[in-house]
Structure 1
């Protein structure tokens, strides 16, 4: 094959290297500097103008579709959900979507859309049914009296790479998957076909990020810091009462975001807490580059990163039957957190479920935020 015809390995993100070179490192509290340096978190834009695409009220909730441009790659899509008819300032929460092996969609799995407004692939996204108990967790939290922003982060949903013409290594791996589909007389839909390619392509993204001095997790943290800034600036949001939460990869994002930003007052991590030591050797392939950044283990154990956060309190939910984490690793993490934090600042709960964010678990997080952030309007 003619090397001159070789396709881009970062399609749709050819401006990414220049952005990283020009943006400089993110400004974080001194206690978080080593974490930010290891992840290679670039500085997000100081001021982001979010454009409104549409707004509708349905079933007691007002949903506003937003978009903004971060200076590289495709524009970010996001949705703000809040109780209908509330004009005063509310506590704000950033809802962080999971990995789920589904990069065709992102934050849309957390949103209940008005009729005719659903995002492509959202209706068929198995993550909400299989992992979230069929509930749109961002919208459900809005019904509890919060302004909730859910955004697509780097390489998911609207921020995904364009793999219509995949790079050669991804194309070779995808060809084998396509042969399996043909053998099974299966015709994949757009989301399934894209996710198969994206699973292989994540290694390429991680290599590209490392070459630039960043990481997949660092770029995700960049997008999350930007979204947190957008949330704090929106009318009707009290910037002094901000929280974040997420399940699985979203839970890892919540921990990192709280560690990097002093504006996060409270946060919740669901089904994403263990020790790094427990992942070796059998559980390494259970997780993606979003958790396993090179050099991260030199900073300490994953639970110890909670000490970098300025948040007043936080919650960790453990899924005791989770096949992605060894039970001893979760118990060790809980013990570390109990010893590391003062009474009342850390809440750990164990649920007899697999890798999921059940309705009961969601309600526990919502109740936690009602206590830690308050509800309703500010004086």
Structure 2
């Protein structure tokens, strides 16, 4: 019998994981405030970055997108990392409510923010159009939000678009190289997301009391992570990225393949904080979690286990009504009706956009 199986799982590891409790996880006996403080402290330590910092931003160009104005930015983070970003504001005086849009993974590294806001680059626009047709019901979320009166911001995470690397099979080397210097792929993404949101909250056109986060797939992970870590974010929508971790460690699951998993893996939190526990650190903020019953990445039992934990955490926070969950009868996709639910949610919790 092989000591390491085809999924690269050592023969002892599943049993080890099953008997290892999440030391930082929520339990009914815990005091919510004490638990939240301890959890956030552990996550901030794992992220290993200044979450109060604000990136330096340079305006590169500006253009119209329908009646909205789009600024193309160069954003430099405290680590020295540089990314392309876009900041779009609807027509009107403001200040506007705003949504931080977090792009997905999908193995499509040629574009990042262009999955969310249409670009003028013809080649990337063609890729983006095909992408939103495949996963977003043919709609760019940024355009949808701008039409509703929200400002939006999006940028390229490390490995996408302006920061494109060497493809799917290079992600483990990228993660390893970051770890050599005390960073992690997930931690770097988390700190950059928080820092970019800090910049957004300081813009004169934005109502700092009405900022939300939204993403699909890996972007959904980033959305609840950002909501948990950032006091700037008042509410969040996570579309198709929530499950309990242990059921994901099943033969053939994407989680066991490494590579892409490093984007959602904080080494210092492994075995200490489950995904719904981490997301629960956002409580009592309003949050909407959407999932697909036939999602090939997340089994329905793993989703329901996570949703049950989230409900317990929000109940303990004193705001059970602030949490909304929905399992749609579909797969890993963000269709129009899911988008409309998110828009209604933001209108409810952030207030109606200014006409």
Same fold flag (TM > 0.5): yes
> Is residue 352 of structure 1 aligned with residue 329 of structure 2?
yes
Change (3 A) 1:330 1:216: same
> Is residue 56 of structure 1 aligned with residue 63 of structure 2?
yes
For residues 52 and 62 of structure 2, what CA distance do their matches in structure 1 show?
A: 25
Deviations 1:11-63 (A, max 9, x none): xxxxxxxxxxxxxxxxx97641212223x332268343422222233323222
Matches within 5 A, 1:312-323: 312-323=285-296
Matches within 5 A, 1:57-206: 57-70=64-77, 75-84=82-91, 86-113=92-119, 117-118=120-121, 120-125=123-128, 126-161=130-165, 197-206=166-175
Matches within 5 A, 1:357-368: 357-368=334-345
For residues 123 and 312 of structure 1, what CA distance do their matches in structure 2 show?
A: 37
Contact 2:52-2:198 at 8 Å conserved across structures: no
Which structure 2 segments of 5+ residues have no match?
1-35
Partner of 1:35: 43
Deviations 1:54-76 (A, max 9, x none): 22333232222222222556632
Deviations 1:60-93 (A, max 9, x none): 3222222222255663211122222x11201111
Contact 2:118-2:125 at 8 Å conserved across structures: no
Partner of 1:10: none
Question: Number of residues paired by the alignment?
Answer: 311
Per the alignment, in what secondary structure is the counterpart of residue 177 of structure 2?
Answer: helix
Per the alignment, in what secondary structure is the counterpart of residue 40 of structure 2?
Answer: helix
For residues 303 and 283 of structure 2, what CA distance do their matches in structure 1 show?
A: 23
Deviations 1:173-224 (A, max 9, x none): xxxxxxxxxxxxxxxxxxxxxxxx3211100011112222221110111211
Per the alignment, in what secondary structure is the counterpart of residue 306 of structure 1?
Answer: helix
Partner of 1:184: none
Partner of 1:369: 346
Let me know the Cα RMSD of the aligned residues: 2.3
Change (3 A) 1:227 1:341: same
Change (3 A) 1:348 1:310: closer
Partner of 2:18: none
Alpha-carbon deviation of 1:288? 2.1
For residues 295 and 349 of structure 2, what CA distance do their matches in structure 1 show?
A: 27
**Among residues 307, 322, 332, which one is paired with 1:334 in the alignment?**
307
Per the alignment, in what secondary structure is the counterpart of residue 341 of structure 1?
Answer: helix
**Among residues 264, 271, 279, which one is paired with 1:291 in the alignment?**
264
Alpha-carbon deviation of 1:300? 2.6
For residues 239 and 29 of structure 1, what CA distance do their matches in structure 2 show?
A: 23
Partner of 2:22: none
Alpha-carbon deviation of 1:120? 4.9
Q: Tell me the TM-score normalized by structure 2.
A: 0.81
Deviations 1:263-312 (A, max 9, x none): 21100111001000111222223652112333433223211112322552
For residues 338 and 229 of structure 1, what CA distance do their matches in structure 2 show?
A: 28
Contact 1:44-1:225 at 8 Å conserved across structures: yes
